[in-house]
Amino acid sequence: MAHKHVLIALALSVALPACAGRKAVWSDGSAPTDGAGTPDAAASETSKKSADDHWNNRTSPDEIRAAITAWEAAVKANPADLASLISLTRANYFLADGYTRGDDKAYLALMDKAVHWGEEAMVVASPEFAAKMRDGGKFPEAVKLVGKPGVPAMYWYASALGKWAKKKGFAVLVGQKDNVKATMDRCLELDELYFFAGPWRYFGAFYAIAPAFAGGDLAKSIEHFKKSLELQPNYVGTKVLWAAELATEQQDEETFDKLLNEVLATPDDVIPELKPETIVEKQKARELLAQHDDLF
């Protein structure tokens, strides 16, 4: 494993300068509200109501797509609508993560959209952050200006950016790691319980995935996964992520099997408002168990 990481490090010395892979919304100096007229409150609220109705049926990919279309209409009517921007970030992420895992092209396109909407949301949540980025500031410093109302935007942005970068390839993943880590550090600082202890869960995966030279630390991974489960034991996605990233890295078959079978034994409605997400995580658990012999 160490030898592999040395080879990767040597390769990255050439690859990293061109690995960013996408252009952020603040790079061209525009903002979601630039050029916008007076917000159409009535049209915005109608669209948001439609989006919420579709989102409540998000066990269907078509319903998620309909919700996304409606939230896009809400943002068109009111470009500074932070709640709709956050919802677009989460919805594109969930559609990708839940329903397009076997289609790399669709998955990457949706995760890229999620990142885009997350950027828009952070700009709206913190004009100070937006101004610093447009003035050429460094993202890891600028994101510290985003306050607690921007935690959902930051969380879904970082979640989408991390998965987009991982799918794009190792060089892109390492190239984006500082931005991702700084964003989730800010989430952890402001609201450790957001989305069922999501920041703790995220760092469990982060420290498992990253090689040692890029900040990886399996002891820290275990610590963060355990903390997330301590705070929110019923959120099964933590166990799936632990099995997929840490248990496979450690080649710990016993923990892998134990965690995933616990997930499968969990009722779909263990967290009533997250039944669709729980169903998706249980499907991921089945897929991972089916890959057992290839992973160990």
- Pair (208, 255) in one structural domain: yes
147 and 259 together in one domain: no
The model carries a pTM of 0.90
Shared-domain flag, residues 60 and 99: yes
The predicted-structure confidence for 38-92, as pLDDT tens digits, reads as follows 778 888 999 999 999 999 999 999 999 999 999 999 999 999 999 999 999 999 9
Please report where in the chains the tokens 């996408």 appear, as a residue. Answer: 22
For 209-224, write each residue's pLDDT tens digit: 988 887 899 999 999 9
Residues 181 and 253 in one domain: no
How far is 280 from 275, CA to CA, in rounded Å? 9
As a whole number, the mean pLDDT across the chain is 90
Which of the two residues, 14 and 156, has the higher pLDDT score?
156
Looking at the fold, whether 45 and 168 belong to one and the same domain comes out as: yes
Asked if residue 57 and residue 108 are part of one domain, the reply reads yes
Of the candidates 214, 249, 217, which has an alpha carbon nearest to the alpha carbon of residue 12? 214
Residues 112 and 131 in one domain: yes
Assess if residue 251 is contained within a domain. Answer: yes
Q: Are residues 174 and 256 in the same domain?
A: no
**pLDDT above 90: residue 129:** yes
Residues 95 and 234 in one domain: no
Residue 11 domain flag: no
- Specify whether 181 is located in the same domain as 205: no
Whole-number Å distance between alpha carbons of 231 and 210: 24
**Domain total in the chain:** 2
**If residue 180 lies in a helix (H) or strand (E), which one and from where to where?**
helix 170-190
Q: What is the CATH number of the domain that holds 81?
A: 1.25.40.920
DSSP H or E stretch at residue 255: helix 253-264
Distance CA 44, CA 259 (A): 43
> 3-state class of 266 per DSSP?
coil
32 and 124 Cβ atoms separated by less than 8 Å: yes
Q: Which domain holds residue 231?
A: 193-296
Which residue in 139, 137, 136, 99 sits closest to 119, CA to CA? 139
67 and 175 both lie in a single domain? yes
Q: Residues 168, 216: one domain?
A: no
16 lies in a domain? no
